[in-house]
Amino acid sequence: MSYLPLIGIAMVVVGFMLRINPALIVVSAGLVTGLVAGKSPLQVLELLGEAFTKQRYLMVFVLTLPVIGLLERNGLKERAQAWITRLRGATAGRLLIGYLAVRQLASALGLTSLGGHPQTVRPLLAPMAEAAAEARHGPLPEASRQRLKAMSAATDNVGLFFGEDIFIAFGAVLLIQGFYAEHGIQLEPLHIALWGIPTAVCAFLIHAGRLARLDARLHREALAIAAQARSAGESQR
């Protein structure tokens, strides 16, 4: 067995470490992997085209990312930030808790494509969370910005992962049913999905608590920055 085609994985790792455009890195790694595996350029393109037409694996690269990029270029991020700053009482934590609830409920109904990192988190959710935090606490340090972005992505993951387990037609539910059936235990998909509800509720409460702590942490950091600014002003006098 030749391990040379695994060079594509190394390309992805190095590309992400260097923060090169993710779409460019993933597509390039796929092309290089196919060529190293002995496929001709036309065969590689044929495989990519076949995957697109049959499974829609490349839909996110071919359609979603260009559309989102065009919207961002025309001010999507700025308009989202301006809208959230006009809401009274909006905080980063409350915004993310609301998104978590909507994401879980939509996923439980099988509507998993309503959210996601490329089409929702990066262009909308993370900028809105930053704007809400800045409206309440003032300019944020870079570490706090990165924490908000990470928490926005984590919120989408938690909502999707624990919400889709309640949908009876989800692949994991059917996999669980098949596993137990092989061992002589007959379970209905509906029963498996129903037992996913307590887990989803616990996941929501735990992550909502983390988001509430995020608001408190941002508040403490803002107070610390204000105190440092006051002490610096007094020392200059």
The confidence score (pLDDT) of residue 213 equals: 94
Mean pLDDT of 48-60: 59
Give residue 204's pLDDT band: very low, low, confident or very high (50, 70, 90).
Answer: very high
75-79, 112-116, 134-138: range with lowest mean pLDDT:
75-79
The confidence score (pLDDT) of residue 189 equals: 82
Do residues 92 and 215 make contact, with C-beta atoms less than 8 angstroms apart? yes
Among 194, 142, 186, CA closest to 168: 194
Q: Is the pLDDT of residue 99 over 80?
A: yes
Q: Is the pLDDT of residue 53 over 70?
A: no
pLDDT digits (tens, 9 = 90+) for 67-85: 666 666 777 777 777 878 7
The confidence score (pLDDT) of residue 96 equals: 95
As a whole number of angstroms, the distance between CA 189 and CA 201 comes to: 19
Q: Is the pLDDT of residue 203 over 90?
A: yes
Q: Is the pLDDT of residue 175 over 60?
A: yes
pTM higher than 0.75: no
Instruction: Outline where 56-119 has alpha helix (H).
Output: 59, 65-73, 76-85, 92-108
